[in-house]
Amino acid sequence: MEKELDSIKKDFNKYLNNLGISAKSSKNYRSDVSHFTTWIIAKVRSFGSYVTTLTEAVPFLSHDIALEYRNDISQDVSSFKTANRRLSTLRHFSRFLVASQLMDLDFMAGIENITNTPAVKGLSEHPMVNEFKSYLESEKISNNTIKNYLSDIRQFLLWLESNHSSNLNN
């Protein structure tokens, strides 16, 4: 499996080089893919599937997973520039997977950059979210599990807020 993973990363690097990007950008892309690899492996494992490589996680890539990753990095990264660079990397990676016929679907299609909007910022500072985080920490829940729970709650609150707004408009 490791050879397969190296092959995907090697092929992705070739894909990036064919785009004519700088050595520094290429380094950032490799770093961003490594960050995403760590995140997606942990996410897939939280579903109860044991994966160890990005290659094994590819079948789990979807638009919903991309949205969740976007939400997670918007909460965890102090710089919107870094978060948006990571999203840009994933857009390239998704297009690479489609072009290489490793996926039929561009899982990043329609995933927009992060903006510093009050609605998103407000959710991360919601007292109940912070209280729940404190509770999980007091129960000595792993940081990865806490991060996943909080991401799920924030995603639900965003969904609830958008559905409530659309229901009011109907």
Residues 103, 94: Cα–Cα separation, whole Å: 8
63-76 and 23-46 helices cross at what angle (nearest 10)? 110
**What pLDDT score was predicted for residue 1?**
44
DSSP 116: -
Residues 129, 123: Cα–Cα separation, whole Å: 8
Mean pLDDT of 55-83: 84
Mean pLDDT of 110-128: 64
- Does the pLDDT of residue 121 top 70, yes or no? no
pLDDT band at 164 (very low <50, low <70, confident <90, very high): low
Q: Are 43 and 68 in contact (CB under 8 A)?
A: yes
Mean pLDDT of 76-95: 85
Residues 72, 66: Cα–Cα separation, whole Å: 10
Radius of gyration of the chain (CA): 17
Residues 28, 26: Cα–Cα separation, whole Å: 5
